[in-house]
Amino acid sequence: MKTIQMTIDDKLLEDVDKLTAQLETTRSAFVRSALQAAIKKHRIREAERKYIESYTKQPQQPEEYEIDEVARDWGDDW
């Protein structure tokens, strides 16, 4: 694990310290968790953006939902 140094404003540090005390964790563990959550959130948003972009470029066509008659036949003689 690497050690890093960062600048943080006083109010934010105060809030972090209060929360880490409530959660019974350390600043480092809290910041690691927050960074992991931010990265995960970013990756999800990026995947959603790509999904939307792909369907915008090539939308689904109604015939993609159609099922032929053979596939619909469940073998029931009504």
Report the number of distinct structural domains present in the chain.
1
Calpha distance 14→20 (Å, rounded):
10
- Could you tell me if residue 1 is inside a domain? no
- Could you tell me if residue 27 is inside a domain? yes
Tell me: the pLDDT tens digits for 28-75? 999 999 999 999 999 999 999 999 999 888 888 877 777 666 666 666
- Could you tell me if residue 52 is inside a domain? yes
- Could you tell me if residue 34 is inside a domain? yes
pTM assigned to the model: 0.69
- Could you tell me if residue 70 is inside a domain? no
31: domain range? 19-59
Tell me: the pLDDT tens digits for 4-25? 999 999 999 999 999 999 999 9
CA 57 centroid distance within chain:
23
- Could you tell me if residue 78 is inside a domain? no
- Could you tell me if residue 41 is inside a domain? yes
Q: How confident is the model at residue 76 (pLDDT cuts 50, 70, 90)?
A: low
Burial 36-75 (b: 16+ CB within 10 A, else e): eeeeeeeeeeeeeeeeeeeeeeeeeeeeeeeeeeeeeeee
Which tokens sit at 41?
């959130």
